[in-house]
Amino acid sequence: MKIGVVGTGYVGLVTGTCFADSGNAVTCLDINADKVARLQRGEIPIYEPGLEELVVRNARAGRLRFTTDTAAAIRDAEVVFLAVGTPPAADGSADLSALWKVVESIGPHLRADAVVVTKSTVPVGTCAGIERRLKAALGRDCRVASNPEFLKEGAAIEDFQKPDRVVVGVRAAEVGEVLRSLYAPFLRTENPFLVMAPESAEMTKYVANALLATKISFINEVANLCERMEADIDDVRRGIGHDSRIGFAFLFPGAGYGGSCFPKDVQALAAMARDKGVAPRILTAVHETNRAQKQVLGEKIAAHFGGHLAGRKVAVWGLAFKPRTDDVRDAPALDLIERLLAEGAAVTVFDPEATENVRAMYGDRLAYAATPMEALDGADCLAIVTEWGDFRRPDFDEMARRMKSRTIFDGRNLYAPREMRARGFAYHAIGKAPV
């Protein structure tokens, strides 16, 4: 099948590459000429395990192309996926200005039988809006569908190729069959292909992310309570997680959630609710709880040093909002760094993949270590913000030799307090009594 993908960001690049890898002819369109040139050279602008290999292999095979030419990408495409950004506006609602520009630009080049599919996360009613705009521009009805993505950064290739479900929103059964055929290679293990109205599909994406964010904010709030009640959040988590109605997924306490999806989608769903006269009480609480949780590590550090951080050297391990990505959008590490710098601390950071993204933001306001251990030289304390595998089993003896003070603030609960006590470290975790 001939496919056009508009947008070569995280979603568009993964979508186009995986469809090409299943034998389709895919052309990815982007207005950023420098980015397209890099992709044509096989340079991947984001870090996602396994993606570079797939891009290079399918480009060499001629199944995957990159261009800035709208007509070249769209005119022969049987299916056109829209994967452009929908960032939050000032009121939390999704900004669709880029999407509407794309719809306007592709309209004149669409085949009469083409299916236009929204992969972007868009408010309920956006498919209907695309239908109206295309009809007004072209004087005919166009086939438009919703196909929300449920990719986890760091595991996006596996998620796309082995989805737990595929959701499509369509007006006509034949459009659903076009998409079912396209996804058939990824559904050989009988995972469901769910067909519904576009409005239901659009809502599904927001509700899924909002519910996962709710679980994170809930366990973080309970963790903060555990610290004051002499309870251990890990014991509590195990105690509830074995209940089949609850489970363990997304019930890990930490320094708050970040990334490109949860923060903006919770706010966008709340904005939709307000627009329809529904008070988004839970969604508002989820968002505010997470904002507060992102301050917890900074508060712990400030309290430990009696509120005097000026001149202290703080090492920070982990900058990406989660492991296996270089994405620092809304990352909790940035909240911590901002507070430490504002209070006069000297901050040295390390991350296996995200350092350059942070360097572009902070320049020489931070020091950048080449290894985790280098970041610890002369440090008054260490703050762990991202649970990279590199940090799970460090050489504690070397850490003790390098650090000025054996003090760790662990925002991801990587270590056992008993072991930290035995090794002579002051250890502050989330939802546990400090040692």
For residue 373, report the phi and psi dihedrals to the nearest 5 degrees: -65, -35
Mean pLDDT of the 339-367 span: 98
CB–CB of 20/28 below 8 Å?
no
pLDDT-derived band at 86 (thresholds 50, 70, 90) equals: very high
**Is 142 tagged catalytic?**
no
Question: Hey, is 54 helix, strand or coil?
Answer: helix
Catalytic residue, from 142, 226, 261, 381: name it. Answer: 261
pLDDT-derived band at 116 (thresholds 50, 70, 90) equals: very high
- Give the tens place of pLDDT for each residue, 179-202: 999 999 999 999 999 999 999 999
CA distance 183 to 427: 48
CA distance 91 to 303: 34
Mean pLDDT of the 250-268 span: 96
Domains of the chain: 2-196 (3.40.50.720), 206-292 (1.10.1040.10), 294-428 (3.40.50.720)
What is the per-residue pLDDT for 385?
A: 98
Mean pLDDT of the 150-156 span: 95
Distances (CA, A) of 180 to 71, 203, 273, 279, 343: 26, 20, 31, 37, 55
What is the per-residue pLDDT for 53?
A: 96
Mean pLDDT of the 390-403 span: 97
Share of the chain above pLDDT 90, in %: 99
What is the per-residue pLDDT for 32?
A: 96
Cβ neighbours of 134 (radius 10 Å):
21
pLDDT-derived band at 136 (thresholds 50, 70, 90) equals: very high
> Please, which contacts does 229-235 make with residues 24 or more away whose CB atoms are closer than 8 Å?
230/433, 232/431, 232/432, 232/433, 233/413, 233/430, 233/431, 233/432, 234/413, 234/431, 234/432
**Sign of the alpha-carbon dihedral angle for 249, 254, 256, 261:** negative
What is the per-residue pLDDT for 126?
A: 97
What is the per-residue pLDDT for 426?
A: 98
pLDDT-derived band at 229 (thresholds 50, 70, 90) equals: very high
Mean pLDDT of the 334-356 span: 98
CA distance 240 to 229: 17
